[in-house]
């Protein structure tokens, strides 16, 4: 239980949850437990990669790498079945960008050797002593297609030999937002967005007719990078969660709505 969550009563507030459909459940449960209304509206879809054969070959040969970095929970769930039957050899070090990714690896029976403390992003992972001097190391980054380049580029600049196993794609849903927009002012008290792509997709889905409603609605994001994007898009009331996980997002919801007693 997060600090203060037991004293958080959302009193019927409507929270727009924009996570992918298969990942929205835990946050929606927290909202409902604390007397809020969880409004599911996925602003991103996760599908298979364009070249699953290549990703499969790389993961099947995981013993060829010194370090394997998992970027996200989706990277874990989409790659576990592609790993060798005997699992990842102990000599291969496993890194996770965030706590949620580390938890998914643990649930899959994979021990994590490296996870950043405090902030959970590429910058924090790059600050880990184990990655300060990776020259000559063979590093496999398991991610979605077109993921952020900072981690791989920086490791390459430090002398590592970087390969990507792209195990999923992100797509913008083609849903109809008309009904949501009709009841937005009555039903939506706060919006959550857990990636830059989710926020950009949400603006795309609701279109110009809904952009004004979104801009004036309180918004919870998960990083300073996202906050800057939200400002550029015209959002006015923005709170940054301490981390990307559901408990931290829920804590930010409560704080922003002033519901923690």
Give residue-wise pLDDT tens across range 197-211: 999 999 999 999 999
Q: Tell which residue, 31, 29, 37, has the closest CA to residue 13.
A: 37
Q: What is the mean pLDDT of residues 5-19?
A: 92
Tell me if 222 sits within 8 A of 196, measured CB to CB: no
| Helix axes of 224-232 and 196-215: crossing angle, nearest 10 degrees | 40
Q: Work out the pLDDT band at 99, boundaries 50, 70, 90.
A: confident
Tell me if 125 sits within 8 A of 151, measured CB to CB: yes
Q: Work out the pLDDT band at 120, boundaries 50, 70, 90.
A: low
pTM here is 0.86
How far, in Å, are 2, 17, 88, 120, 229 from residue 198 at the CA level? 25, 11, 32, 18, 11
Give residue-wise pLDDT tens across range 209-240: 999 999 999 999 999 999 999 999 999 999 99
Cβ burial of 256 (10 Å; 0-12, 13-18, 19+) is: middle
Residue 162: predicted pLDDT: 97
Asked if residue 118 has pLDDT above 70, the reply is: no
- SS3 at position 1: coil
Q: Rank 7-16, 112-121, 124-133 by mean pLDDT and report only the highest.
A: 7-16
Asked if residue 243 has pLDDT above 90, the reply is: no
Q: What is the mean pLDDT of residues 17-29?
A: 96
Q: What are phi and psi of 167, to 5 degrees?
A: -105, 0
Handedness of CA 123, 125, 126, 127 (dihedral sign): positive
Asked if residue 2 has pLDDT above 50, the reply is: no
Distance CA 89, CA 112 (A): 12
C-alpha 251 chain-centroid distance: 17
How far, in Å, are 15, 118, 123, 207 from residue 132 at the CA level? 41, 18, 12, 44
Q: Where in the chain is the domain with CATH 3.40.50.10090?
A: 7-44+175-257, 47-170
How does strand 45-47 pair with strand 161-171? antiparallel
Q: What is the mean pLDDT of residues 28-32?
A: 97
Handedness of CA 82, 85, 91, 93 (dihedral sign): positive
Q: What is the mean pLDDT of residues 85-114?
A: 93
**Residues of the chain with pLDDT > 90: what percent?**
84
- SS3 at position 159: coil
Q: Which CATH number fits domain 47-170: 3.30.365.10, 3.40.140.10, 2.60.40.420, 3.40.50.10090?
A: 3.40.50.10090
- SS3 at position 97: coil
Cβ burial of 237 (10 Å; 0-12, 13-18, 19+) is: middle
Residue 1: predicted pLDDT: 40
Q: Work out the pLDDT band at 148, boundaries 50, 70, 90.
A: confident
Yes or no: domain 7-44+175-257 corresponds to CATH 3.40.50.10090: yes
Tokens found for residue 113: 């050797």
For the chain, give me the number of helices (H) and strands (E)?
Answer: 10, 10
Give residue-wise pLDDT tens across range 154-185: 999 999 999 999 999 999 999 889 999 999 99
């Amino acid at each position: 239980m997060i600090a203060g969550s037991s004293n958080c009563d959302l009193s019927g507030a409507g929270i727009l949850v924009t996570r992918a459909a298969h990942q929205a459940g835990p946050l929606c449960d927290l909202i409902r437990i604390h007397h809020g209304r969880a409004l599911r509206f996925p602003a991103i879809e996760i599908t298979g990669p364009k070249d699953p054969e290549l990703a499969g070959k790389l993961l099947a040969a995981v013993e060829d790498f010194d370090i394997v970095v998992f970027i996200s929970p989706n990277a874990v769930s989409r790659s576990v079945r592609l790993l060798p039957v005997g699992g990842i050899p102990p000599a291969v070090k496993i890194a996770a960008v965030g706590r949620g990714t580390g938890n998914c690896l643990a649930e899959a029976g994979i021990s994590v050797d490296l996870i950043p403390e405090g902030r959970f992003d590429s910058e924090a992972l790059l600050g880990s002593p184990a990655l300060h001097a990776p020259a000559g190391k063979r590093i496999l980054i398991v991610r979605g297609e077109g993921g952020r380049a900072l981690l791989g580029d920086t490791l390459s600049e430090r002398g590592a030999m970087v390969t990507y196993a792209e195990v999923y794609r992100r797509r913008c849903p083609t849903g109809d937002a008309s009904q949501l927009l009709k009841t937005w002012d009555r039903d939506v008290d706060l919006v959550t967005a857990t990636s830059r792509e989710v926020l950009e997709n949400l603006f795309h889905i609701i279109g110009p007719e809904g952009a004004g409603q979104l801009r004036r609605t309180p918004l919870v994001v998960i990083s300073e990078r996202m906050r800057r994007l939200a400002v550029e898009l015209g959002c006015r009331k923005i709170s940054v969660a301490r981390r990307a996980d559901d408990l931290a997002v829920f804590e930010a919801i409560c704080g922003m709505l002033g519901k923690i007693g």
